[in-house]
Structure 1
């Protein structure tokens, strides 16, 4: 499940839209691989290509809350790192891509939402990239998680009994890359966790070996 959903945060910390998306300014450059305090992050030294729509660009991670938290910056941004072809291969619609409720505070998350194509299947995908560790996920959900492997990466799967959502959080250098799948209309074509693992295996390469 999304860490944002699991840990409600005062609205002042949640970034819904980037400045570029609101003003029509030119797209911002991809976020630099720097820690919350401005030092280079060891997890990535490679500049990755990004989608350029101004409305998709991530918010700045440089504020008093991130500096106070002392956590590394989030490097992988799902809204600008996941190619359209990858989304189409999962039978999702790239045109539904939109930024979720980005969280930039003591811990930070960059979020992107996608919907299914064709629409009658009604799957919804949320991807979170954050600087909360898998150990913190395990501590929060002691006895309610399962350790899994995604393309050789350590990961944690969490699901509530009777809940039509399933989340798989994949370990990254600064935290985790989270895949949350919801069957919003009871499509019945697969279980949410089957879909979550399918999506996780397809999206894991986007993280990059250096992250």
Structure 2
């Protein structure tokens, strides 16, 4: 795995662990924690097959995550976001722990020279927006995306490493995006870019 993808995976794992540790592994007391409606039985068009999602445990009573970005977000949406649908793969940091779940999918973006510029991990989770906000209060910036509460955040005030996280509520539950880039190849602000990605994703979700 390239250095950017390795850093992205490790930071995403650290973010999930910090969330559950900081919030005591509970089910949360506010904000959607999982899907409020099941995905359509008709899956969108996906050219690249992926391995099945890991089995969920959620032993503390959190509801199961029913939206899977690797099979429920179609290639056309990924293209609209500016990423290559053929790069679709299960996230290295996908997690199905005893008390929480992150179902994730990774996508890559390349520039005109064929060099990788951005790496996006897209997760569906049963961690609530309240838990995200409580944990990352020092670095979060709140927004509304598609009429739903959202926030960008970093793991600490000193953390940058060319990336940014975004959590948002949606009709299919809480989604968490992780965007990391090669800043020497594309110097754009990752927190601005991840909001653009989130807007496109939110507009495609069921209402």
TM-score bracket, normalised by the shorter chain, equals: 0.7 to 0.9
C-alpha distance in 1 between matches for 2:51 and 2:133: 31
Work out which of the residue numbers 168, 171, 175 in structure 2 matches 1:170.
168
- The Cα offsets for residues 152-209 of structure 1, whole Å up to 9 and x where unpaired, read as 1111110354331111111136751112111134333521112101111111134322
Query: Normalising by structure 2, what TM-score?
Result: 0.73
C-alpha distance in 2 between matches for 1:91 and 1:141: 28
Q: Is 1:87 the equivalent of 2:82?
A: no
Partner residue, 1:108: 101
Partner residue, 1:144: 139
Work out which of the residue numbers 160, 178, 181 in structure 1 matches 2:179.
181
Determine helix, strand or coil for the equivalent of 2:201: helix
Distance 1:54 1:167, change over 3 A: same
Contact 1:112 1:126 in 2 (8 A): yes
Q: Is 1:76 the equivalent of 2:74?
A: no
Work out which of the residue numbers 6, 9, 13 in structure 1 matches 2:15.
6
Structure 1 residues not aligned, in runs of 5+: 10-34
- The Cα offsets for residues 2-37 of structure 1, whole Å up to 9 and x where unpaired, read as 65332449xxxxxxxxxxxxxxxxxxxxxxxxx99x
- Equivalent positions of 1:1-211 (< 5 A) are 4-8=13-17, 43-44=37-38, 46-50=40-44, 51=46, 55-61=50-56, 65-66=57-58, 68-100=59-91, 101-105=93-97, 106-118=99-111, 119-120=114-115, 122-159=117-154, 160-161=157-158, 162-172=160-170, 175-209=173-207
Determine helix, strand or coil for the equivalent of 1:122: strand
Structure 2 residues not aligned, in runs of 5+: 1-7, 19-32
Distance 1:124 1:45, change over 3 A: closer
Aligned Cα RMSD in Å? Answer: 2.8
C-alpha distance in 2 between matches for 1:167 and 1:191: 12
How many residues align? The count is 176
Contact 2:120 2:180 in 1 (8 A): yes
Query: Normalising by structure 1, what TM-score?
Result: 0.71
C-alpha distance in 1 between matches for 2:36 and 2:80: 32
